[in-house]
Chain A
Amino acid sequence: MTSESAIDDTQYPQRTAIGLSFGNSYSSIAHTADGKTEVIANEEGDRQIPSILSYVSGEEFQGTQAKAQIVRNPRNTIAYFRDLLGKEFKDVDPSPCHASAHPVESSEGKGVAFVVQEKEVAEDGEEGEKSTLTVAEVTTRHLRKLKESASDYLGKDVNAAVITVPSDFTDAQKSTLSESASKAGIELLQFITEPISALLAYDAKQQLTDSGSSAPQDKIVLVADLGGTRSDVAVIASRGGIYTTLATAHDYELGGSSLDKILIEHAAKEFQKKNKSASDPRKNERSLAKLTLEAEAVKKALSLGATASFSIESLGDGIDFNLTVNRSRFELLGNKVLMSFTRLIESAVQKADLDILDVDEILLSGGTSHTPKIASNLQSHFPESAVVIAPATSATAINPSELAARGAAIQASLISGFEVEEIGASTEAVVTVTPHLTHAIGLVTGEEGFAVIVPAETPAPVRRTAQIVVKAGGDVLVRLAEGVREISVRTEDKATTNGNAKKDADEDEDEDDDSDDEPEEVREKVWKAGKVLAEAGIRGVKKGGKVEVQVNVAADLSVTVVCREVGGKGGVRGTVPAGKAEQNGNAS
């Protein structure tokens, strides 16, 4: 086969590619065809498929059915295994697996495995041999099931995928996952990171709605992927639709299960209050498993409704349990945990050396992003200029549980017509490592004001065009300069803005203690002109005419400027030569 005309997507008619998000808690599959992306339901009708396998009487179950087995058959049920992939036993945190099959050492500590009763128990009750399944093997089996579900749904053999991975997944983890995929009959087209995938899905939808513009606006986006067992944040510079990750932050203990624990604790206490003689249901493995399953369901219901109920048959000592919880109670009990999400997200901004005023969008991804209080906490903590995109704060938000899979499906549709070598070539450092502007480039306005044309952290080469009205007309000076962003802080007496400053008093006990008469700090982003790069004189502009400035930054960082009056004749053109060749290293 020749390597030419790789863009011809008839070249791989036998390839059917999906997007796959594979989490510790849930997996999800999506497919893009004719520009439309849909998330695929499995045979049970689930779009969020628990990443769990369970062995019962010689049969293998996956997803919701397998999850139910954590109550009855925990040691033959394998859950929370994604993060164990490609790691040595001594490096893994086995705690999420506490309630299911426990990870054990394999290949002399070089890997992790689970020991389960996979084969049917013999007639005589003889348990028979147990199987040791490596994490890689478990992953293969899980992916094979997902592939089958996708193939059934699409009516053709799915044989390729783009798979999302956390932004800190190591090369060893990727290569193990890639091998597992290939054993499951899935050609791995590309790994993409979860936050980037979520952003791609969101931007693709935005493009459809604000039709006309060719690329998303330049913006700084915080993507917070709030999952079940962990939370990950990425700060992304999006420049003309090209993404650069500036910083990431991770918390391997914070996630939806931290919120489940709040409800478990609450329910267990209520159970013991109602049944004085009953023992603590958290102390009994089976009771705890029932409680855990129900707590998650209650938590999900509380994202939509104001109340939700526990209803568990024979929770402990043969006693049934019913309890109604309302959302505000849950938010009060969970206040600390809920605030931890805000803190983690803000820590990523600091890691990127940015200010919260630099953030244009906060995109919430992952199942826990359904929690209304997490979104509203962010909305009140971040400045109004930062748009929080979550179901609770934005009518156009995409289901956060689906974002990662959707983005992967879109990427799969973009590259499934390419040869693997072609895809690989585009992801190599010679193509991806790119000089990024250290400072914004724009125009000096007024005395020493500054208007941004090309923001900092934009990769070169880049071209941007800006227009500016010249009210008075005449001869004007176009001064192209680098900009300096400053944060101005002034205090404003709160008394003037006190109208609705009173918050729900019971809700922010330990989050902030600004009393009513304390002056309020007002922080603002201010641009100042820095180093001037070039000057151009534009003569004889009409009254109310417009000057257009095109800035072309080449890969060598030389800058070509073209200025003219819109509709006028001629114009000025010149180049600022490239600087020295070396760059500040920071390519990792």
Chain B
Amino acid sequence: MATIQLSATLPSLPTDWTAEKDFKSISRVTQPTARSLEPVGPHFLAHARRKRHHRTFSEDER
């Protein structure tokens, strides 16, 4: 996927904001829904290949 260009403003960093290595994990992603992918098309086939060979996106790109 091409890089997404967002047109909005980021809030500025509060002066009292601190975090180890400037990163704070706050809460987990909401439970997902299990659904079936349609086993069709080139992008699905790439997904199936990654899944069956336990590869990540970047490993797949190599």
- Interface on A for B, CB 8 Å cutoff? 190, 192-193, 196-197, 200, 203, 212-215, 217-218, 236, 240-246, 407, 410-411, 414-415, 425-427, 429, 431-439, 441, 443-446, 449, 451, 453, 457, 459-461, 463-472, 474-479, 482, 531-539, 547-548, 552-553, 557, 559, 561, 572-580, 582-588
Contact = CB atoms under 8 A, between A and B. Distances in A.
Interface string B24-62: 111111111111111111111101101110001100000
A321 to B, nearest CB: 47
Nearest to B51: A431
Interface of B: 1-14, 17, 19, 21-45, 47-48, 50-52, 56-57
Contacts of B38: 192-193, 196, 236, 242-245, 432
A466 B50 CA distance: 23
A532 B39 contact: no
B29 A474 contact: no
A557 B9 contact: no
A243 B40 contact: yes
A507 B1 CA distance: 44
Interface of A is mostly: strand
B24 A482 contact: no
Contact of A431 (B4, B29, B39): B39
14 contacts: A431-B51, A433-B36, A434-B37, A436-B32, A445-B6, A449-B8, A461-B50, A461-B56, A467-B4, A533-B28, A534-B25, A572-B21, A579-B29, A584-B31
Given A426-B48, A433-B34, A434-B37, A446 B26 contact: no
Contact of A583 (B31, B37, B42, B56): B31
The 3 closest A-B pairs by CB, nearest first: A241-B43, A574-B23, A435-B32
Nearest to A585: B34
B36 A429 contact: yes
B43 A242 contact: yes
Given A463-B57, A537-B17, A572-B22, A445 B8 contact: yes
B30 A475 contact: no
A587 B37 contact: no
Contacts of B8: 443, 445-446, 449, 451, 468
A557 B32 contact: yes
B37 A244 contact: yes
Contacts of A535: 17, 19, 23-24, 26
A407 B47 CA distance: 19
Given A240-B43, A466-B6, A537-B22, 9 more contacts: A193-B38, A213-B2, A433-B35, A457-B33, A465-B3, A470-B10, A574-B24, A579-B28, A579-B30
